[in-house]
Amino acid sequence: MQTIAHSGLIAPSSRSHESFPFWRPTDLDEALTAIANAPLAPVIFAGGTDLCAQFNEGLTPAAMVSLDRVVELKTIRIEADRLVIGSMVTHAQGSTDELVRRHLPGFAKAWGMAANARVRFWATVGGNLMARRVRYELSLMLAALGATLRFARSDGTRFEITTEELWTADLDQRSLLLDIVVPCGEGARFDYERSLRPTLTIALASGSDAGAMAAIATEWLRPLVLRVRPELGPVRAAEDAFEAMPPSFSDPATSHWYLREVGQTLLRRMLEARDGR
């Protein structure tokens, strides 16, 4: 028998949830042990801002492991021309961090635009990625930057994927995102254009190992990474990049033609601004 809360007529609230085991480990080893030992796959709790929405969508956890006390996941450091950003770094911390601002000021600025002030102090980069909602922005930014996501499984194995693979990778509930590795060598630069969001958002990264890359996304479509050849000049480079946009890249609100036209215009302007024109 369903309760009214489960019928879909009203959103289930915390009062309608069965109780479940809840762990708050204080370091990474303890967190991995808690995830491994939970009899049923546990829900990982980071800042909880997306989980609030998931509860309203019907999430009923069998168990939960909170990462809020795991300080190893809250750090940002530099390792050989790469920023290593812990999965528990919040939007507020990351966007104001001295290392992020020094090595990728454009990324710090763009990251600081995500969500409102109240949410930014709780919402983490790991939660933003692992919620796997295309309208969230960090996967778009990090895909353009050529970032790698590093995970640990509760059996002790480690693995990594590209940001683009986030959407197709087989990530079970016992896969813990540890950190994000972002190339930020000499000359690395990041620009972001969200004035048309959610119709179209563009991230442009250049000067890193991967050359210049643009990532585009809409409210409905996963980020698509396009190679950019700045040496062609802003007009031709923007046209050339969007030639690789597949015909299937359109959504219920916006046609392929419009996304290509407006995308080229925005990218051209970003390239011109980058060159100081």
Ligand X SMILES: Cc1cc2nc3c(=O)[nH]c(=O)nc-3n(C[C@H](O)[C@H](O)[C@H](O)COP(=O)(O)OP(=O)(O)OC[C@H]3O[C@@H](n4cnc5c(N)ncnc54)[C@H](O)[C@@H]3O)c2cc1C
Question: Cα separation of 73 and 60, whole Å?
Answer: 26
Least distance in Å: CB of 105 to ligand X?
19
Residue 240 CB, shortest distance to ligand X, in Å, is 28
Q: Nearer to ligand X by C-beta: 171 or 205?
A: 171
Please say which residue, 119 or 262, places its beta carbon nearer to ligand X. Answer: 119
- For the bound state, the minimum distance from the C-beta of residue 123 to ligand X, rounded and expressed in Å, comes to 3
Which residue has its beta carbon closest to ligand X? 127
User: Using an 8 Å Cβ cutoff, are 109 and 189 in contact?
Assistant: no
Which CB sits closer to ligand X, 4 or 52? 52
Are 219 and 196 within 8 A, CB to CB?
Answer: no
Order the strands of the 158-162 sheet from edge to edge: 76-78, 82-86, 175-183, 148-153, 158-162
Taking the least distance from each CB to ligand X, the nearer of 24 and 256 is: 24
Please report how close the Cβ of residue 131 comes to ligand X at its closest, in angstroms.
4
C-alpha 162/C-alpha 184 separation (Å) is 16
Structure token pair of residue 26: 């204080």
Residues 6+ apart with CB under 8 A from 161: 148, 149, 151, 169
Q: Identify which of residues 32 and 46 has a Cβ nearer to ligand X in the complex.
A: 46
Query: What residue type is assigned to position 186 of the chain?
Result: E
Name the site residues for ligand X (rule: CB under 6 A).
Answer: 43-51, 67, 87, 114-116, 119, 122-124, 126-128, 130-131, 136-138, 176-177
What's the min distance (Å) between Cβ of 138 and ligand X?
A: 6
